[in-house]
Structure 1
Amino acid sequence: MSAARDVNAPRRLQAFVNTCVGLLPGLLLALAIALFSQVTADNSIAPAMLLALVFGLALNRFNAMPALKPGIAFGANVILRSGVALLGARISFDMVAALGLPMVLLLALSVAATMGFGLLLARFTDFQNRFALLTAGAVAICGASAAIAIASVLPKDENAEDRLVFAIVGVTVLSTVAMVLYPPLTAFFGLDDHTAGIFIGASVHDVAQVVGAGFSISNEAGETATLVKLLRVSMLAPTVLFIAILAQRYAGSEVDSAGKRPPLLPNFVIVFIVLAALNSVFAVPPVISGTLATLSGWMLLTAIAAVGVKTSLSDITTVGKTAVAMITAQTIFIALFIAAGMAILANMQG
């Protein structure tokens, strides 16, 4: 048995090396964009995160190159989530407490309200409740990841994959638009960095765009936005469980359990929570926290560059006007809901 393992070990090592080599070209492109963005930001007033996204979008054509595509996808996924996970070392439970119970309740209400609004819209369109749940869940919780998780527990039919593609493309494009528009919008309304971070974290769909939008304002806004966003992500588990129960109750055997379902709580969120807990309980040496913060910053900048390269602005034409209108309406709804809720809480506290 051990001999067999010894024989296979070189093959596994070679496969691992080949995989790493295959990822290298795309990752180097994303890193080059990140470096150029940081240098440009250091010599201008433009934020590095926004520059990385814009430069990445301008180089979208490189995503079609087979040699670059794997590394770009790895950067936009694994590097991004690793960077977010390391942010936990910069965040403590004191920051969560600073948000307050009312804000946590507002986030929970925004998820429920957006899901309900999506189902209401479905009654006035040709889309089924299944598509409404996909898009509303993606908008309310965590973008494409939520859509994939929700799709895994919904009854399947011949249009299931088309609905999922529509939801993923739609929320990704709108989330990118929100990343660009929301930071200047918060400045226009005179929000301070902390409040701007809360609004962005509570209203932008995908983690990548939340990070990009938040840190394009300031470190405080970025950390606050990330914290708020991950609180929304943590609501994926109960939401998917609730939808799964409904699906099993009303659809029974239609639920497809053959495939592997995504985890209800992503691993990077678990790592984030563990690091935040350690940072809250123990005194982390500044040299360690500083190193992790620097590493996290470069990982996130590289990931945002990869997200830009991976995103095609022309993809929105493949979604369909009605689907775009539906997802746009849900996006506007959650932004207005959060803005109204924050205003009410501010008046109550004032």
Structure 2
Amino acid sequence: MVRDIDTDAASAHEMFQSFEGMEGLPVTGPVRRRPLSLEAFARSVYPGVLVALTIALAASWLSQHYNAPVMLFALLFGMTFHFLHEEGRCVAGIEFASKAILRTGVALLGARITVEQIIALGPVPIAMVVAGVTTTLLVGLLLARMLGLSRSFGVLSGGSVGICGASAALAIASVLPKTKESERDVILAVVVVTTLSTIAMILYPMLVTAIGLDHQRAGLFRGGTIHDVAQVVGAGYMISPQTGDVATYVKLLRVAMLLPVVLTIALVLSRGRAGQSGARVPMPLFLFGFAALVALNSLHLLPRPAVDAAGEISRWCLVVAIAALGMKTTFKALIAAGWRPVAVMGLETLWIGGLVLAVVEWLT
């Protein structure tokens, strides 16, 4: 079975004479692919991973000091180092970080969720979240078709808006078909959803106050609409501990929707490709890791320090991965995409906001 890390290493090996030197000299003849030892593999990927980690550290420091989204800093810094992905010793590590490290971070998100937390919300919030995620995905597909964008971008944008922002975009992208525009679409989705989430974090408290929602319903609204987990927490506890707790639980329920959504996308793609070529697409293993951690945490088999550690490692993995993705694209490619992706995600944000507000006002 071919793994991502094998594919990435082999691709980088074809571009350069060897992993030992990697002096940037083009290959003049066919390269025989051989399985790499663990030591050789580590030696091949560490330069690119080290660069991505350095960018992640810088982005995290700036995020803490200027109270801005760390994902956005990591993306922008990564894009300024795009030349490292064009050739040189960092290619293999950047590919590894954008795939294997990304999937590790998504899998570890499962340690933050328990079935008990989901059940405690009651039937209305659960139905609200399921309806919000499902309809936002459908709205994304519809808008993408109307504006001449790919179905992949419709799914990617709808999932990122409906579920959990940049983390959902990265998870969904890992199972979507790879095209020449796919990585640009991921970067676009992350940039736009992070910006929209920041705007929502600023505007929604004023909206909640103007409407006169109590602490419980304000938590339901914020947790059901704001895209990024960290911004949900910040916006919730800005009002009261009760609002923060409710908002966090609702948001974690949306994060839990990652598993069925990504699994469904993978199954649909697998069946479609099997009908075309007779070859089945392997199911992404990180989803099973996600589900296993949810189960272990629900059974209280994970000690609190392990849960906290998994959450912190997951955060760092995702920031490193987004830095690597940034290095794989350019500002020129983003500008060339035009206004339509932004319009799609803006309308998706309005849709889920209106839907959740209607449920909070009329059904709670």
TM-score scaled by structure 1?
Answer: 0.69
In structure 1, C-alpha distance between the alignment counterparts of 2:78 and 2:249, rounded to whole Å: 23
- What SS does structure 2 have at the residue aligned with 1:303? helix
Paired AA for residue 267 in structure 1: L
Paired AA for residue 187 in structure 1: I
Cα root mean square deviation, aligned:
3.9
Q: In structure 1, which of residues 136, 140, 146 is the aligned counterpart of residue 154 of structure 2? A: 136
User: Deviations 1:277-306 (Å, cap 9, x if unpaired)?
Assistant: 111112522232233233223323322322
CA contact (8 A) 1:38 1:48 kept: yes
- Where does residue 180 of structure 2 map in the other structure? 165
Taking a change above 3 Å as real, the CA distance of residues 193 and 72 of structure 1, as seen in their structure-2 partners, is: farther
Corresponding position: 1:344 with 2:364? no
- Where does residue 193 of structure 2 map in the other structure? 178
CA contact (8 A) 2:71 2:194 kept: no
- Where does residue 82 of structure 2 map in the other structure? 60
CA contact (8 A) 1:60 1:309 kept: yes
Q: CA deviation at 1:67?
A: 1.1
Taking a change above 3 Å as real, the CA distance of residues 194 and 270 of structure 1, as seen in their structure-2 partners, is: farther
Corresponding position: 1:108 with 2:104? no
Greater Cα shift, 35-44 or 75-84: 35-44
In structure 1, C-alpha distance between the alignment counterparts of 2:106 and 2:59, rounded to whole Å: 19
User: Deviations 1:164-198 (Å, cap 9, x if unpaired)?
Assistant: 43455335324323223422332222277875554
The answer for unaligned runs of 5 or more in structure 1 is: 1-10, 152-160, 202-209
Counterparts of 1:303-318 in structure 2, within 5 Å, are 303-317=321-335
Q: CA deviation at 1:242?
A: 6.2
- Where does residue 101 of structure 2 map in the other structure? 79
- Where does residue 293 of structure 1 map in the other structure? 311
User: Deviations 1:117-169 (Å, cap 9, x if unpaired)?
Assistant: 444x17xxxx5xxx653332333236587578565xxxxxxxxx8xx434553
In structure 2, C-alpha distance between the alignment counterparts of 1:215 and 1:81, rounded to whole Å: 24
Query: Which protein is richer in helix relative to its size?
Result: 1
- Where does residue 20 of structure 2 map in the other structure? none
Corresponding position: 1:273 with 2:291? yes
Greater relative contact order, per chain length (Cα 8 Å cut-off, separation 6+): 1
- What SS does structure 1 have at the residue aligned with 2:49? helix
- Where does residue 115 of structure 2 map in the other structure? 93
User: Deviations 1:77-106 (Å, cap 9, x if unpaired)?
Assistant: 221221221122222123333342222122
- Aligned residues: percent identity? 23
Paired AA for residue 277 in structure 1: A
CA contact (8 A) 2:105 2:314 kept: yes
In structure 2, C-alpha distance between the alignment counterparts of 1:81 and 1:222, rounded to whole Å: 23
- Where does residue 21 of structure 1 map in the other structure? 43
How many pairs does the alignment contain? 301
In structure 1, C-alpha distance between the alignment counterparts of 2:139 and 2:278, rounded to whole Å: 31
Taking a change above 3 Å as real, the CA distance of residues 214 and 105 of structure 1, as seen in their structure-2 partners, is: same
In structure 1, C-alpha distance between the alignment counterparts of 2:111 and 2:200, rounded to whole Å: 29
Paired AA for residue 268 in structure 1: F
Taking a change above 3 Å as real, the CA distance of residues 311 and 279 of structure 1, as seen in their structure-2 partners, is: same
CA contact (8 A) 2:102 2:170 kept: no
- What SS does structure 1 have at the residue aligned with 2:277? coil
TM-score scaled by structure 2?
Answer: 0.67
CA contact (8 A) 2:110 2:256 kept: no
Corresponding position: 1:231 with 2:257? yes
